[in-house]
Amino acid sequence: MNAARGTTPAAGTQTTRMHEVSKETSDIVDVVLEYSRRRILSSDTPLDKPLSAAELDRLAGRSIDEKGIGATRALALFEHVLAPACITTDHPQYLSFIPSAPTKAAISFDLVVSASALYGGSWLEGAGAVFAENEALGWLAHEFGLPPTSGGVFVQGGTLGNLSALVAARERARLRVTERGEEQPRRWVIVCSAEAHSSIASAARVMDVEVVPVAPRSDGMLTGEAVRGALVEHGASVLAVVATGGSTNFGVVDDIASIAALKDEFEFWLHVDGAYGLAAMLSPLARHRFAGVERADSVIVDPHKWLFAPFDACALIYRDPESGRRAHTQHAEYLDTLTETSDWSPSDYAAHLTRRARGLPLWFSLATYGGQAYRDAVTHSIQLALDIAAEIEKRPGLSLVRDPQLSVVVFERDGWAKADYDAWSARLLESQHAFVTPSSHAGRPNARFAIINPLTTFEQLVGILDTM
C-alpha cells in the first residue's frame, strides 16, 4: 500500500518533511532562535529605513521556488535585506505615529505563544490561555475603575476593538427598542468628537450608521455640554457616545466625567476609545484626567502601544460582557459544542472567530515585572513630555501647538512650510538620527513627538530639536 491509499507516509518524504522532527528541523530551529536571541538582546539596533520595490527586487531577488532556498539563506535574506528595509518601531528615537516598545519578557513570550500551538478562540481548546488573558483583562478593568464582573477579549487592534464595541452598543439599542415596542430609527447615530480617531468613522461605514461629529473646545477636549446638544437633537437614534481617552494626534483626553454624567438624563452606550492613552491611568501624573471612565459601557486600550506588548493586541472590555456575547456569538452546527455552554470563549466577544492568544505576552510581562514597573514606565513618558515641552517653549523660533496632557508633544517652527518639515524629517531618517514624521492641525503643518519608549531620553529629544 502507498500513501495515496491512506497509509502513514514514510519518514523523510516530501509529504512529512516540513512537520517531522529531523536534522533539518533542528537546524531551522537553531538558526531562528539564535537570530531571535541576538535581536531581543540587541542594544544598538538601527532605525533602518524603507527601500523602493525596485531596489528590494534587485537586492532580494526570487526566494520562493519549487525546491526552496533553505532556512539559512532565507533567514540571511531577512536579516540583511528585508528587515533593514523596515523601520524599527521599538527604537528609542522612533517618535512618529504611536511607537511600540515591548518589554523583553513580552517579546520572549511571544515566541512561546507561537511555539505552543495554542488556539485562543474557545475555552474548550484554550482554557489555560484564556484564563491567563482574562486575568490581564481583569487587572486592566480594575485599574480603569470598572466592576469585577467586567470582561472582554484581546483583539487585533483599536479599529477592530472600536468596531466590536459599537456593534454591541447597536445590538443593545435595538433590543431596547424592540422590548418597548417602539419603531427602529431610520438610521442609527454615533456621537463623537470631531477629533476622534479615524477608526470611529471606519466602524460607522462598516455598520452603515451615521457619525455626528461634535466640535471640541479649543483645547481639543470634548465636553458633556457639547454632547448634550447632539443627544437632544438625535434622541433615541443615538446608539453610542464615544469619548476619547488620549487622542492620537495630541494625546488629549476628553472630559469623560461630564459626558458620563449625561447618562443620568439620556440612554446611550458610553464607549471610551483609549487605544493609545488609557494606559496613562496607571500614572499618578495623569489618572485624574480620566474621571468618568468607571461609568463606561466599554473601553479599549492597545497593549502594543503604551502597555509594552508586541504587535498586535487591543484589550476590549465590556462593563456587561453579556452585551458583547449577545452581539458577536456566531452560530453554526459545527460550533454547537462551543455555543451551547456557558464557558468563556473569546470568539464570542468581538467580530472574529479564529484568534491567536494575543493577550498572553502582556500577561507574562505583567506577571514577570509586576504593576509598579508599568506605572513607573508610563510615568517616565509623561514626565519626559512635560520636560521637552518646557524646553521647546524656551527656544526662540519654536512654540507648542497645545500643552501636552499625556506623552504627545506637538510644536511648530516659525516660518516653516510643509515642505520644510518634510525635508527635515527625511534628513533625520536618512542620517538614522530619528524617525519624526510631520503632522498638521487646522491646516497648519507641525512637528510631533510621540513618546512611549522608556529608553527615550531628554538628551535625545534635545538633540533632535537642535537639528531644526
- Note whether 109-369 and 371-466 share their fold: no
Give 468's pLDDT tier (boundaries 50, 70, 90). Answer: very high
Cα 111 to chain center, whole Å? Answer: 19
pLDDT at 374 over 80: yes
Instruction: State residue 348's pLDDT score.
Output: 96
Cα 427 to chain center, whole Å? Answer: 28
Cell 539559512, residue located: 72
Share of the chain above pLDDT 70, in %: 98
Give 11's pLDDT tier (boundaries 50, 70, 90). Answer: low
Cell 472590555, residue located: 317
Beta bridge partners of 448: 410
Decide: pTM greater than 0.75.
yes
pLDDT digit string, tens, across residues 72-131: 999 999 999 999 999 999 999 999 999 999 999 999 999 999 999 999 999 999 999 999
pLDDT digit string, tens, across residues 18-69: 999 999 999 999 999 999 999 999 999 999 999 999 999 999 999 999 999 9
Q: What burial class does residue 21 get, using C-beta atoms within 10 Å of its C-beta: 0-12 exposed, 13-18 middle, 19+ buried?
A: exposed
Give 1's pLDDT tier (boundaries 50, 70, 90). Answer: very low
Cα separation, 47 vs 55, in Å, equals 19
Cα separation, 18 vs 36, in Å, equals 21
Beta bridge partners of 270: 241
Which cell numbers hold the place of 370? 509586576
**How far is residue 136 from each of residues 36, 46, 152, 313, 444, measured CA to CA in Å?**
26, 32, 10, 12, 41
pLDDT at 5 over 60: no
With a CB cutoff of 8 Å and minimum separation 6, the contacts of 73 are 63
The domain spans of the chain are: 21-86, 109-369, 371-466
Instruction: State residue 331's pLDDT score.
Output: 84
Instruction: State residue 6's pLDDT score.
Output: 58
Instruction: State residue 339's pLDDT score.
Output: 78
The residue-averaged pLDDT of 221-242 equals 97
DSSP assigned state of 350: S
pLDDT digit string, tens, across residues 276-311: 999 999 999 999 999 999 999 999 999 999 999 999
The residue-averaged pLDDT of 253-257 equals 98
Give 14's pLDDT tier (boundaries 50, 70, 90). Answer: confident
Pairing of strands 439-441, 444-450: antiparallel
Cell 524617525, residue located: 435
Cα separation, 134 vs 356, in Å, equals 14
The residue-averaged pLDDT of 157-161 equals 98
Instruction: State residue 92's pLDDT score.
Output: 98
Q: What burial class does residue 133 get, using C-beta atoms within 10 Å of its C-beta: 0-12 exposed, 13-18 middle, 19+ buried?
A: buried
Helix, strand or coil, per DSSP, at residue 140: helix
Instruction: State residue 172's pLDDT score.
Output: 97
pLDDT at 334 over 90: no
Instruction: State residue 338's pLDDT score.
Output: 73
Q: Annotate 140-177 with b (16+ C-beta within 10 A) or e (fewer).
A: bbebbbbeeebbbbbbbbbbbbbbbbbbbbbbbbeeee
Asked whether the beta carbons of 249 and 448 are under 8 A apart, the reply is yes
Angle at the Cα of 202 from the Cα atoms of 87 and 339, rounded to 5 degrees = 100
pLDDT at 360 over 90: yes
**How far is residue 186 from each of residues 175, 189, 205, 237, 443, measured CA to CA in Å?**
15, 10, 16, 8, 35
CATH architecture group of domain 109-369: 3-Layer(aba) Sandwich (3.40)
The residue-averaged pLDDT of 431-447 equals 97
- The CATH label, of 2.60.40.10, 3.90.1150.170, 3.40.50.10860, 3.40.50.300, for the domain at 371-466 is 3.90.1150.170
